[in-house]
Amino acid sequence: MKILVTGFDPFGGEKVNPAYEAVKLLPDNIAGAEVIKLEIPTVFTRSVSVVDDAINRYQPDVVLSIGQAGGRSSITVEKVAINLAEARIPDNDGEQPLDQALMQDGETAYFATIPVKAIVNRIREAGIPANMSYTAGTYVCNSIMYNVLYLTHKKYTNVKAGFIHVPFSTEQAASKPDGTASMPVETISKAIYCAVEVIAENTEESIESMGTIM
């Protein structure tokens, strides 16, 4: 099995992005699966092209994308991506779409095709805070999750895909207001390792409620 793990470059004035910093710490093989690591631009348009090219080149069985959600206190495994781009700030190429569809011929939403709940449980078993999330936002993180799932529905039908959001790194939080949630990059990497392990082991999805009342 081959698993392509992507992480974004720094954006929004940050000097680092714990998404790719954590991905870089992963070993090249996890539970018998080859791990391919790829940094992608925090850009609406170019990010999907970079991933599309990588899928063509490496022929992975799974694409797992990692992005930062500053302000969240836990690892959040995304359940769904929506067909909407609405950028509060410009991306790294200056793009700032407002109320736009990501794909005109795409579904309103796509669900992750990796075992989201099983991944959450494995990360928790490792002593790391984790939750399932029902919103990947409307910025480039949601965009890449949606677009990769779109590709797996339209073009790469044998490929599975999903997305994980990670908190600020401890390094980033040092310059943030007191009380800003953060996590060491090493811990974030351990959580991603757990996720890749679950995927590589072909773990079935957990049958349990992780819903919200909000």
Evaluate the CA torsion angle 77, 93, 87, 178 in order and state its sign: positive
Whether residue 201 lies in the annotated active site: no
CATH number of residue 179's parent domain: 3.40.630.20
Domain residue limits at 85? 2-200
| Known catalytic residue at 165 | yes
Q: Looking at the domain assignment, is residue 208 inside a domain?
A: no
Residue range 99-154, pLDDT digits in tens:
999 999 999 999 999 999 999 999 999 999 999 999 999 999 999 999 999 999 99
Is there a contact between 66 and 6 (Cβ–Cβ < 8 Å)?
Answer: yes
Q: Is residue 156 part of a domain?
A: yes
Give residue-wise pLDDT tens across range 187-201: 999 999 999 999 999
Question: Which one from 34, 86, 125, 141 is the annotated catalytic residue?
Answer: 141
Residue type, 143: S
107 annotated active-site: no
Which entry of 165, 186, 201, 208 is annotated as an active-site residue? 165
Contact indicator for 63, 111 with CB cutoff of 8 Å: no
Residue 59 domain flag:
yes
Residue 205 lies inside a defined structural domain of this protein: no
User: Is there a domain that residue 103 lies in?
Assistant: yes
Give how far the C-alpha of residue 3 lies from the chain's centroid of Cα atoms, to the nearest Å: 13
For residues 41 and 93, the answer to whether their CB atoms sit within 8 Å is yes
Structural domain count, the chain: 1
* Both tokens assigned to 120: 């959450």
Residue tagged active-site, from 21, 34, 39, 78? 78
Closest among 88, 87, 66, 79 to 166, alpha carbons compared: 66
